[in-house]
Structure 1
Amino acid sequence: MNDFAEGQRWLSENETELGLGMVQSVDHRLVTIFFPATESERTYAKNNAPLSRVSFQVGDQIETAHGEILIVKSVEQLNDILVYMAQMPGEGDDMVPVPETQLSHHLQLNKASDRLFSGQVDSLRWFELRYSAMKAKEQQQRCEVNGLQGPRIDLIGHQLYIASEVGNRYAPRVLLADEVGLGKTIEAGMIIHQQLINHRASRVLIVVPQPLVNQWFVEMIRRFNLHFSIFDQARVDSLTDLDDLALDESIDIEQIEIENPFLSEQLVLCSSEFLAQCDLDQISQGEWDLLVIDEAHHLEWQPGNPSNEYLRVETIANQTPGLLLLSATPEQLGQESHFARLRLLDPDRFHNLQDFVEEQKAYQPIAELLETITDSDKWDDTLKAQVANYIDDVEIDETNRSQIIKELLDRNGTGRVLYRNTRKNIAGFPQRKVFPHPVEACEEYQYEIAEHLDETVAAMLHPETQMHDESWTLFDTRVDWLKNFLKENRNEKVLIICAHKDTAIALDLHCRFKLGINCCTFHEDMDIISRDRAAAHFADMEEGAQALICSEIGSEGRNFQFSHKLVLMDLPANPDLLEQRIGRLDRIGQQNDIEIHVPFMQNSAQEVIFNWYHMGMNAFEKTNAAGSEIFKRTHAQLFDAILEYDDSQHQKALIESTRTIAKEVNKAMESGRDKLLELASFNQSKADELIERVAERDSLAPRNFMESCWDRFGVQFEDHSAQSYVIRPGDHMFIGAFPGLAEDGMTVTYDRSTALARDDMHFLSWEHPMVNGAIELVLSEDKGNASVCILKNKAIKAGTLLMEVLYHIEPIAPKYLQAQRFLPFTSIRVLTDINGNDLADKVNHENLSKQCHKIPKNTSRQLLKSEEKTFRKMLKLADKKAEVKAQAVLANVVDNMQASQKQELNRLVSLRKKNPNIREAEIDFIKNQTDKLTTHLSDTQLQLEAIRVIVAV
């Protein structure tokens, strides 16, 4: 076990990029190290901490925190702290005491040279893998779509555009309000993913209605590789329970300070119901970087009378830099409700409802002007004069059309805080067709009036629930219809949804064992792995199930767009649930018209609700964004009609009333459309460019790199099926575990389309945690940083000595500064001969490696020992060549960064004069970021990475 003391300097062996660390605290079991260069903190178990004690010897050169370079003359120890007695080079004999606490946080390591000259050399493959990891890290940091390529999503323009616009902001505060079916959850996930992967955020809290908790949990894992922890009261209680400690009489319970349970995890997901009753002080003090609220329109607010739920969200939002609100109905159902949402985003900007209403009216002429200049090929003088009224610093001419449109959108409306796309301005959706299938009513079902009206209605809509076994499948006429339908569509994939899991299970058993139909089931009692297997079995086009029978959970979070036939064995009373069900197939990219088949018993409650949906609001064949409002205004009449299902006049009155209300609500929604907002929410040319760049990155999949890693670290891999592979821990794994590799193995694919169809497979992009982990694993290990080989090339004289030396430049800075935007990880390669000539430009690494061959380790050690002086001289010559290359890279980095930051700052300051949606916090962040970046980029140093000695034979 290492002996630690506060103030000592240690280095993380696994994360050398953190710089030189300092012991902050020590107890009997743990040691906490603070890394000032990156403002990071790590806590390790003392008995196996991956740390190396940093100490210098007499003659070594050290650098102080003030940048002074000194030569060590002697080393003393005071209270476990090393004190270096050192001198300034060339400045007399005066000694300067330098405690190790005063050393610079930026430490240059020469582990490669130490290992080489001590004979600790590795094989050629390890050296080549190290080179590949360096190039992979460099390419990833230079990628212009970093954060967008990794998610398991279709490349859909409006989603990528919004994610790109919002995800790169500092602490974004935005309302995502795309119409139902356009993918708000995916947009939010991409923004979260970008914020995390680019280190703009590290702590995220997501709050969603209870029925959607599982959907979000699965979506975050399967689509974005983000593992959120679900918090409920039971979990909080378990984290704050002191009962076990109370049994120890030596512990004074009253003196123990209970840690905030919400600080125990970085990524937290909870229900809005839990948020409404949990400890507000604890959750609001969770130090969140980003708060995400789904179904935000449920947060009720009126001037002077906000709801408890609204106030709780407001409290957390006021203490959290970033905020994402999701709502499909932002302003259409009332400007008061819309203002309440915007008020959460920026209470300083949106502080008065009446001012907001007047401001919105003023934007209408601008929206109309934008439509005119977009549609007009030639602009007359009158149109130019109208544009000049709003823009006075840009030449008004149709040749500047794109710039003028951008300026108008930037300076007016709520475009920076609100994004809304509708199906009217997004192409690619299929048609929806409904096919009613009336069947005879079943006399076996008896209806009784329950204590609560909702229970009575539910029993009438789902009559099979009154049976306590599967016997209903033998007489229910809907089941007979389903049997015939599946036989008539043997070659089609059919998604079947019903409300209850018991119904789904009974249908599955009946279809498989009684009817011999290849099907599977999907319900809430299945664990995630079982659900994945069922979904994969359904997705298999060759030997998979013909039908997937789902409970209501089947309408949440899954994409089955490879099917276009949907069977609804019953109908929910909630229109939003119906839209969710249809939305499993009604997706952008669906290649066929969607067939919605609805079997229902005639002269029953099922017929009433079918007619209400179909004839009253046309909910099957058109998206129904207003469904919840229509239900709110008609549900009493609907329930009465269900109870009196044999009263035809009652049914007619319901249909007429629903049609009238639907017409009113839809008209209100249409008139409430913010056309200026819709124009600001999507840019087709930029979206096309993003799609092209992500697709290009997809084509450069990490297959070769990962297979090399697996081979080196003892991971077994083999083909699984087209475009997919199985990997599992090998019997002789090089280390105890490989990043992200499950003990029982996993199936992976590099192909996006395969990943979209198979939720059970991991999508291995360059952004996948396993790939990033593999890159860091290779670069953090010593393996491969020293190697010796022979070169077989008749054109090169035998006995010729070459040295291939790899270096890198990487700023050591806090991750939230994103210093890699201005100085990405840069690899530098030098290939020197004995005279110091650099041959790197003439001979590339790949061609050289093809001619290199292994040499016995004993031989390589003898060679290194006999020619050590020569090799040390060659390394010094290489260092000089590399330093020249490094200075060329670093020469203008700070100036370019400052120019870029100044340009962004000036843009925001200029826009803020005309658009108050630009927050002062964004401007202050740019200024502070520039100052810190200047300091850290100026301190960047060249780092030696690996050495390969080459002997021609």
Structure 2
Amino acid sequence: MSDFSPGQRWISDGEAELGLGTVLNCDARSVTILFSASQETRTYNTRQAPLTRVMFGSGDRVVSADGWQMIVDDSQMSDDLITYVGEDHQGQRRELPETKLADTMQFDQARDRLLTGQVDRNDWFDLRFRTLHHHQRIEQHSALGFAGPRIDLIPHQLYIADEVARRHAPRVLLADEVGLGKTIEAGLILHRLLVAGRVERALILVPDSLTHQWLVELLRRFSLNVSLLDEQQSEAHGSDNPFESAQLILASQGWLFANAHRQAQAQASHFDLLIVDEAHHLDWSNEGSGPGYQCVEQLAANIPGLLLLTATPEQMGIESHFARLRLLDPERYHDIARFKDEERHYSAVAGAIDALDALPANIEAREHIEAVADDRDSQALLATLCNPEASTEQQDAARAQLRDALLDRHGTGRVMFRNSRRHVGGFPERRLHLNALALPPAYRRILRRLERDDDYLDELLIETGMDHPDVLIYPDAAYRELSDDPLNSEPWFHIDPRVTWLLEKLSDDSETGFANDKVLVIAHHRETAEGLAEGLRVLGGYQAPVFHEGLSLVERDRAAAAFADEEDGCQVLVCSEIGSEGRNFQFCRHLVMFDMPQHPDQLEQRIGRLDRIGQRHAIEMHVPTFTGSPGERLLRWYHEGMDAFSAPHSIGSDLFDAFGDALADALLDDTMLDEIISETREMFIAKLAERDAGRNRLLELNACRPARAQQVIEAVRELDDDTALPRYVERALDIFGVDSQEIGNGLLHLQPGQHMLDGLPGLVKGEEGFSATYDRHQALARDDVQRLSWEHPLLREMMGRILDGTMGNTALALLGHPAIPGGRLMAELVFRTHCPAPKTLHLNRFLPPTAVRVLLDESGANLTGKISFTGLGKNLQKVNKSLARDLIKNRHDQLREMLTQGENEADRELPSIVEAAEARMRTQLDAELARLTALAEHNPSVRNEELDALKNERQALSDAIENTRLRLDAVRVIITVDPNA
């Protein structure tokens, strides 16, 4: 029967874990199925619905929604609905309409496929069992979601990701300094929540200039395919809501904030997580708020999870900072006057934490701590710390616990994470090398006329089509735009001394030269980068790849790979400004800034491509400047006004907002420039003092707890070093038809085979495939190489197809062994725990699908403990399918008995599995609930919603675990044969 009618029971062929579904409604084109056990609803095309009608036969056991069971004798059909007739466990005659079947029942595909003679290959059965085993192991692993991304194992990033991803609907502010990896932290949190099933859809809002960077980061580091939504893409969806078009939506803030219609569509779409980058640009005050803030506020009110990213949380004022916290928790942060009072208390808390190291000797330190740590538990810890009879170990433990208690009580410490470079450490020294050059005549003519003629600047802007102050800072660009001038007939790179200087440095093998090193060159304009690369080739014979916004993603990858290759790669890579976004080249230590960017953030982005955690050398920054030029004056403002080259300080944007316009007017006036530099320096020092206040000290201490971070790192390394992964991948690739070839240096090349199954990520028939490695460091060094892990999309797709489908769930093999007589029947049964539950519960961390193996012979003997899965598999021989079907047909009755006995044997294992899962769940959630409950008495940042959600989650998990049942997942029939025959 293929027609659908309301009330009928069906199961999903591809999502068996959803449980038994009920037809809600249907028409000629579509059918809607409700899967009550997992709280999911699906709508399918009636012609292509991957569904199977549930129809039980004589002898089958069925369960009613009320819990009683019945053995089916017969069935009746009326109005397209089935009523089953049989006896219950008390022998009474009963009738059970299919509408009253228990939602948790599953259609036993393995049993039915076997008894109808449908058998798969033995290696498929083997892969299915191993897949179930590895899936069970990985789903419970504490590093789940963190081991797959292409990242360095940096403590503060992993600590923040682990802390935030553990929470129910996390709402936090990620406020690390520039270069410490806020994007990576957000990506880790998102990846963990997606892998765990706690988040299904996310909306990511970023400034226009950062859309490409986010796209690259999420794809390259986390293998997350994001849909970049703009007006053109939205219009392509016609009347449909474009925000419903993908699981992960990335959109420009400028586009969405200016479009009320698209905002309404975003609000109407369901998302589990909202990520907002550069959140300090959202305008708010007590008097009113800007369109961006209003948009995010409305979205955040309906989306459970919220991550706000900013490197400057307080630099725009205390009100601006309060506005960000207000988005996270409007009930907690509703009164700015009260918030300011709390802020004044944080310096005392920071001082108390610093004073802990002076105990037990310093009496003043104890008095300082007592004034802050006024609860009973903290006082007890303080007493232990100051007790002269306590051992050193006891005092150290008390100090650590008291420090954590004080940090937990710090109000915004739970919702805001801020690390600074001085706190994290491990960053290289920055060295600035200035190289003064004479202006070439063609550039000097323009500058001298500007100095003599006040009106010439306006003429120049019109003639070149450039903006002010671009026309002053980038003389090569102005030269190109004035190419009609007879004096400008020669290509700019022939007359620019910076090109000659760079060529000399590239061939210089002295300590100050580049001859033996990689060099990254960044210029502001794409045309400058292209011309410079051409100049290096024509004038010096250097083949320098160019990296700019006009290239496709693949072309950029190739350019970056050509630069990264240590043996055969290019010495120099030339980038436009986009080269300072989204790509890291920490294997390189020489950075040539061919010109100066206008904005301090762009300058820091340039340096940040090399100045990363993991950089092993000092950063050598080389800046060729023209003496007395506007570009040199801009460099002076950066260098003297804000120490922009020495270290990132996240203050540059505020300084540019304050002085940018005046600076543009001063690029031709040294006297005016000196005044601006002096004022900039004064504001810079004041901003630094604000940044280093006691409150930031608290945030730094709370943003990374080293012991916990190390535990996460060790867990990730455990999965990195998992020797089972390569063996599993080799088996899986072979079965799925993927060709794998070792190409040296620990690299594999994967490409579609002739009989590859369709739809594997990264592998398309007729295309070349991709290179991959298991080594984290190798993958980090090369953007063109993917890293294989248990979380790689290819692995997850293959494992998902196996576990959710029928692949390998039946098999038949021959066993030839001298000690076993021929003609005997054995059955290897694999049962799997089945526990339908909402994905948001992430039940798998406590009870993933768990395999129970039962090996029986025809006499009823249970051989499971005597013969291992691997040991048995080594002695099995394959058999052709036609013979397998005949063998099964001749042994039907015996197989039915063995299947029933196997079910009884497996059921004996279920109570211990359920008990262990319940214990794991209670141990983790009870401890977390107790901690949060105690913390809520002192820290108002612990929301009541968070406590209630945790209580409800614990109860829902307990109910789900209690209802766990076993179902037959796979069965292999084994016929013994005489090995000598």
Q: TM over 0.5, yes or no?
A: yes
Contact 1:810–1:823, Cα closer than 8 Å, also in 2: no
Contact 2:350 2:695 in 1 (8 A): no
- Conservation of the 8 A alpha-carbon contact between 2:159 and 2:712: yes
The amino acid of 1:424's aligned partner reads R
Q: 2:441 is paired with a residue of what secondary structure?
A: coil
Give the paired residue count. Answer: 930
Matches within 5 A, 1:667-682: 667-671=689-693, 673-682=695-704
The 8 Å contact of residues 331 and 672 in structure 1, kept in 2 or not, is answered as no
1:116-135 aligned within 5 A: 116-135=114-133
Residue by residue over 1:781-809, the C-alpha shift from the partner in whole angstroms, topping out at 9 and shown as x without a partner, is: 32322222233444555556543221211
Alignment counterpart, residue 584 of structure 2, candidates 559, 583, 593: 559
Instruction: Give the structure 2 partner of residue 247 of structure 1.
Output: none
Q: Aligned partners of 1:391, 1:34: CA distance in 2, in Å?
A: 51
1:267 has 2:248 as partner: yes
Farther off after superposition, 353-362 or 461-470: 461-470
For residue 571 of structure 1, what is the aligned residue in structure 2? Answer: 596
117 and 8 in structure 1: CA distance in 2 versus 1, 3 angstrom threshold:
closer
CA distance in 1, matches of 2:916, 2:227: 44
List aligned pairs for 1:933-944, cutoff 5 A: 933-944=957-968
SS of the residue aligned with 2:778?
helix
Give the distance between the partners of 1:654 and 1:762, measured in 2 at CA: 49
2:721 is aligned with 1:699: yes
The 3-state SS of whatever aligns with 1:542 is coil
Q: SS of 2:312's equivalent?
A: coil
2:481 is aligned with 1:483 = no
Kept after mapping to 2: 8 A contact 1:109/1:944: no
Match of 1:352 in 2: 335
Instruction: Look up the equivalent residue of 2:619 and give its one-letter code.
Output: I
2:491 is paired with a residue whose SS is: helix
Moved more, 111-120 or 138-147: 111-120
Residue equivalent to 1:243: none
Supply the distance in 2 between the matched residues of 1:544 and 1:336 (Cα, whole angstroms): 51
- Could you give the per-residue CA deviations for residues 113-149 of structure 1, whole angstroms, max 9, x where no partner exists? 3333433333321121111111121111111111111
CA gap of 1:558–1:171, structure 2 versus 1, over 3 A, is: same
TM-score by length of 1: 0.93
Structure 2 counterpart of 1:48, which letter? Q
Moved more, 383-392 or 127-136: 383-392
TM-fit CA distance, 1:863: 4.0
* Alpha-carbon separation, structure 2, partners of 1:44 and 1:440: 72
Distance across 2 between alignment mates of 1:440 and 1:222: 43
Q: CA RMSD in A?
A: 2.4
The C-alpha deviation readout for 1:330-381, integer Å capped at 9, x for no partner, is 1245222211111111111111111111111122222111122246477879
Q: Separation in 2 of the partners of 1:41 and 1:749?
A: 39
Q: CA deviation at 1:508?
A: 1.7
Residue 44 of structure 1 corresponds to 44
State the 1:952 CA deviation: 5.6
Relative to structure 1, the CA distance from residue 317 to residue 866 in structure 2 (aligned partners, 3 Å threshold; closer, same or farther) is closer
Moved more, 463-472 or 882-891: 463-472
Distance across 2 between alignment mates of 1:737 and 1:27: 30
User: Deviations 1:581-626 (Å, cap 9, x if unpaired)?
Assistant: 0000000010111101111111211111122212332211222321
Which residue of 1 is the match for residue 147 of structure 2?
149
Structure 1 Cα separation of the partners of residues 822 and 98 of structure 2: 49
Q: Which runs of 5+ in 2 are unaligned?
A: 385-394, 448-455, 484-489, 509-513
Q: Distance in 2 between matches of 1:214 and 1:48?
A: 37
Q: CA separation in 2, counterparts of 1:381 and 1:615?
A: 41
The residue that corresponds to 2:511 in the other structure is none
The CA deviation at 1:476 is 0.8
CA distance in 2, matches of 1:432, 1:377: 40
Per the alignment, residue 750 of structure 2 pairs with 727
Report the equivalent of 2:457.
449
The whole-number CA distance in structure 1 between the counterparts of 2:803 and 2:165 is: 28
Structure 2 counterpart SS, 1:524: coil
Alignment of 1:246-645 (within 5 A): 258-278=239-259, 279=261, 280-374=263-357, 376=359, 383=366, 386-387=369-370, 389-393=373-377, 395-396=380-381, 397=384, 398=395, 399-445=397-443, 446=446, 448-450=456-458, 455-466=467-478, 467-468=480-481, 471-488=491-508, 489-644=514-669
- Closer, same or farther: CA 43–716 of 1 in aligned 2, 3 Å: farther
Residue in structure 1 matching 2:943, options 910, 914, 919:
919
Q: Deviations over 1:448-476 (max 9, x none)?
A: 51377992311111112120578101111
Give the CA deviation at 1:539: 1.0
Query: Quick check: 2:358–2:365 contact (8 Å CA) kept in 1?
Result: no
> What is the rounded CA distance, in whole Å, between the counterparts of 1:543 and 1:657 in structure 2?
49
- What is the rounded CA distance, in whole Å, between the counterparts of 1:940 and 1:851 in structure 2? 34
8 Å contact from structure 1 (residues 739, 774) kept in 2: no
Describe how 1:654-665 pairs up with structure 2 within 5 A: 654-665=676-687
Q: Answer yes or no: is 1:168 the counterpart of 2:166.
A: yes
Percentage identity across aligned positions? Answer: 41
Give distance in 1, aligned partners of 2:83 and 2:856: 39
Aligned with 1:558: secondary structure?
coil
Could you tell me which runs of 5 or more consecutive residues in structure 1 were left unpaired when the two chains were aligned: 241-257
State how far apart, in whole Å, the 2-side matches of 1:706 and 1:21 are. Answer: 34
Relative to structure 1, the CA distance from residue 184 to residue 47 in structure 2 (aligned partners, 3 Å threshold; closer, same or farther) is same
Do the aligned residues in 1 keep the contact of 2:173 with 2:307 (CA within 8 Å)?
Answer: yes
Q: 1:412 to 1:612 in 2, by over 3 A?
A: closer
Counterparts in 2 of 1:637-786, with a 5 A limit?
637-644=662-669, 647=670, 649-671=671-693, 673-700=695-722, 702-733=725-756, 735-743=757-765, 744=767, 745-786=769-810
Cα distance, 1:658 vs structure 2: 3.0
For residues 182 and 759 of structure 2, the distance between their equivalents in structure 1, rounded to whole angstroms, comes to 36
The 3 A distance-change label for structure 1 pair 816 and 301 is same
Deviation, structure 1 residue 709 = 1.6
The amino acid that maps onto 2:505 is F
Cα deviation, residue 36, structure 1: 1.6
Relative distance call for 1:112 and 1:441 in structure 2 (3 A) is same
Residue 930 (str. 1) matches residue 954 (str. 2): yes
Counterpart amino acid of 2:98?
E
Tell me, yes or no, if structure 1 residue 830 matches structure 2 residue 828. no
Structure 1 residue 406: Cα displacement: 1.9
- 2:142–2:712 contact (8 Å) kept in structure 1: no
| CA distance in structure 1 between the partners assigned to 2:574 and 2:365 by the alignment | 62
Query: Is contact 2:522-2:576 (8 Å) kept?
Result: yes
Match of 1:64?
64
Q: Deviations over 1:694-726 (max 9, x none)?
A: 011011163222221221121222123422222
Contact 2:352 2:368 in 1 (8 A): no
Displacement of 1:898? 5.0
Relative to structure 2, which stretch is displaced further, 544-553 or 16-25?
16-25
Q: Retained in 2: the 8 A contact 1:333–1:669?
A: no
Q: CA deviation at 1:754?
A: 1.6
Report how far residue 6 of structure 1 moved.
2.8
**1:538 & 1:638 partners in 2: Cα distance?**
36
Question: Counterparts of 1:51 and 1:886 in 2: how far apart (Å)?
Answer: 29
CA distance in 2, matches of 1:513, 1:863: 76
Match of 1:246 in 2: none
Measured in 2, the distance between the counterparts of 1:850 and 1:895 equals 37
Deviates more, 1:686-695 or 1:723-732: 723-732
Asked whether the 8 Å contact 1:16–1:780 carries over to 2, the reply is yes
Aligned to 1:35: 35
